[in-house]
Amino acid sequence: MSVSDHPIRIYVSHRFVADEEYLRVQEYLDGTRRFYYQLTSDPSAPVLGGREGQRDVWRQQIQASEVALMLSAHADVDPEGIEFQVRFAKSAAKPVLLMRRFGSVLPPPTALSRQATALVDWNERAIVNALRLYGRQESTARWDTIDFTLD
């Protein structure tokens, strides 16, 4: 059975808008070789019924995933929404990976950090390793090799 036949199902937090942070995560994941994934999150999903309708859509999308990747930058814009997504993912027994704010030295909100399974930096390798470890419990021991010549 090939890994490409069974990609890791990932939920990435969103506010029903494909903002810069959301698109950046996709860019990082797409740039990784031999990493197969499927996003269960869809920021363009139709929402009926205001805030409760949003929560229903979030529930469906999170339930279909293996691991939830939460963007701490969303807490600045919609703290109630991101808090709901984190709580529901935890209640659905999904590992919650919290991404730091991109390009910022500010720590993620404390309330989110406490609930997260792991805190992940904006590093392609760190993101993929965390997704494999917490999503599929796959060992992620990889080594870098550096070739050089002695003069």
Q: What are 18-31's pLDDT values in tens digits?
A: 889 999 999 999 98
Say if residue 143's pLDDT is above 70. Answer: no
Please say whether the beta carbons of 113 and 75 come within 8 A: no
Q: Cβ(62)–Cβ(96) under 8 Å?
A: no
Contact status, residue 11 vs residue 65, Cβ threshold 8 Å: yes
DSSP-H helix ranges across 1-151 = 20-30, 50-63, 74-77, 79-91, 110-115, 124-136
Q: State how beta strands 67-71 and 8-12 pair.
A: parallel
**Whole-number pLDDT of residue 2:** 38
* CATH 3.40.50.800 fits domain 3-136: no
Which pLDDT band, with edges at 50, 70 and 90, does 59 fall under?
very high
Looking at the DSSP bridge assignments, the partners of residue 10 are 39, 67
**What pLDDT was estimated at residue 1?**
33
Q: Which helix (H) or strand (E) holds 8?
A: strand 8-12
| Cα atoms in the 13 Å half-sphere on the side-chain side of 121 | 5
